[in-house]
Amino acid sequence: MSAHRIPRIVLAAPSSNAGKTSIATGLIAALTDRGLTVSPHKVGPDYIDPGYHGLAAGRPGRNLDNWLVGEDRIVPLFLRGALTPTPADVAVVEGVMGLFDGAAHASVEPGYGSTAQVATQLRAPVVLVVDAAAQARSVAALVHGFATFDPSVRLGGVILNRVGSDRHETILREALDAAGVPVLGAVHRVEALHTPSRHLGLVPAAERSAEAVRTVRALGAVVESSVDLDAVLRLARTAPDLYDTPWDPAAEVAPVPGRPVVAVAGGDAFTFGYAETTELLTAAGAEVVPVDPLRDSVLPTGTRALVIGGGFPEVHASALSANVGLRTAIAALVAGGGPVAAECAGLLYLSQNLDGEPMCGVLDTATAMHPRLTLGYRAAVALTDSVLAAAGTRVRGHEFHRTTADPGAGVTPAWQWNAEGPEGFVQGSVHASYLHLNWAGSPMMASRFTAAAAQTPWPSAPATPREVSGAHR
């Protein structure tokens, strides 16, 4: 086990909505514009923020989530991101919620999975992003409290956000100087940099294309002019060496023969996914190829299996429905026994219909938008043998959606968590559920799924009209 010297900081905040993502994205962009290689990371399960980070850095934004992958994998996964594809000059880790806010689950201690816990695991200094819009001298008391609440967390400085004026900035700086906390930057209100949101948060960077690129560049310019980048880098370089082995997907799984083609859904409708999923599939022997259900009318040549992750199919329901060719091809894949793993958005796409629009018709359920947000960590147990897991397998995942499925479980359900009823569908070679998983936490799923793909005959039986009709039951 060798030492790894990776300059790094963790950006945190007293609470959500302080501007962490804007500051983190801008900082990554500004440092990248200096010619530095930046490794971007996000605490927690969120898919959208890492998309902006990755756009700014030119390499994947990776998640660090104790609940999803286990405490022993946090540093190895961080090292994987920081060293792949090339060693980074600095790593920027964006926190989740407030600095000390963790998983709200009865099975863990308060603060589990929090930004503070991950910062401690990474032995990284913390920069607190403070929304100063509605305060002046009181900022010193706020920052003092965060600096002293947990001695294991090293608060190295503050970036003031949404500062109202030069005079306001002076008052804030004087108060924090007296408190002994360095101010690394002061970002004034910039209304033009508003990032559009929808029902699950920011609009993913992948959907905004050129507009997202312009926003990232503008954020980089604002941070470059408002933050002392040299001071940030000096602070990042105070992080000590990390002694651990970088996570290696090849060490987690054994490859199966045959190089089966596994298609992974992407494009504007399916933007949610963890980099480790495709890395594990590749290590397990799969040839991973992308497919865009909005634009591709057929599955990639030789496809033996399909992974459909999360995203916003509800926003693109009409266009997805209009692509009858791909819906027919997916139904044919299922009819021929091809494994399909579908999470959340994938479940919606495989359903009979979504808000009345015909979908793939593979699952005997109808889906629709719902006003209530379903959000939270889940400790689940597999109720049925499937292409992902054997019955009795325990996993940790999360839910994040504003849709419902009726019914919410099939005759052979996928999971059960806590005291709630069964959830999801295991239907032949299909595993579909609202549960999001990071396969790095359960790498055996990649082996099991790829092995099932290798055994899939091709071509599959043709789809029947009912299988692609999307009609109600």
Domain of 53: which CATH number?
A: 3.40.50.300
- DSSP three-state, residue 172: helix
Same-domain pairing of 201 and 324: no
Confidence of residue 190 (pLDDT cuts 50, 70, 90): confident
CA angle 224, 227, 228 (to 5 degrees): 100
Given the residues 344, 388, 446, 453, the one annotated as active site: 344
C-alpha distances out from residue 51 to 21, 56, 149, 256, 450, Å = 11, 9, 32, 31, 26
Domain span at residue 365 reads 249-469
Q: Which of 4-8, 309-313, 436-440 has the lowest mean pLDDT?
A: 309-313
For the cut 90, the answer to whether the pLDDT of residue 362 exceeds it is yes
Residue 468 is predicted with a pLDDT of: 39
Same-domain pairing of 50 and 115: yes
Same-domain pairing of 395 and 255: yes
Task: Say which CATH number the domain at 398 has.
Answer: 3.40.50.880
360 is catalytic: no
Cα 340 from Cα 427, distance rounded (Å)? 10
444-472 pLDDT per residue, tens: 999 999 999 999 886 543 433 333 333 33
Asked which of 227, 243, 259 is the last residue of a domain, the reply is: 243
Q: pTM surpassing 0.85? A: yes
Q: Which of 51-55, 154-158, 234-238, 417-421 has the lowest mean pLDDT?
A: 417-421
Same-domain pairing of 49 and 74: yes
For the cut 70, the answer to whether the pLDDT of residue 201 exceeds it is no
For the cut 90, the answer to whether the pLDDT of residue 63 exceeds it is yes
396-426 pLDDT per residue, tens: 999 988 899 999 999 999 999 977 789 999 9
240-261 pLDDT per residue, tens: 999 999 999 999 999 999 999 9
Same-domain pairing of 225 and 275: no
Considering the chain, what percentage of its residues have pLDDT values greater than 90?
A: 84
Cα 164 from Cα 188, distance rounded (Å)? 6
Same-domain pairing of 329 and 431: yes
Same-domain pairing of 13 and 29: yes
Residue 203 is predicted with a pLDDT of: 62
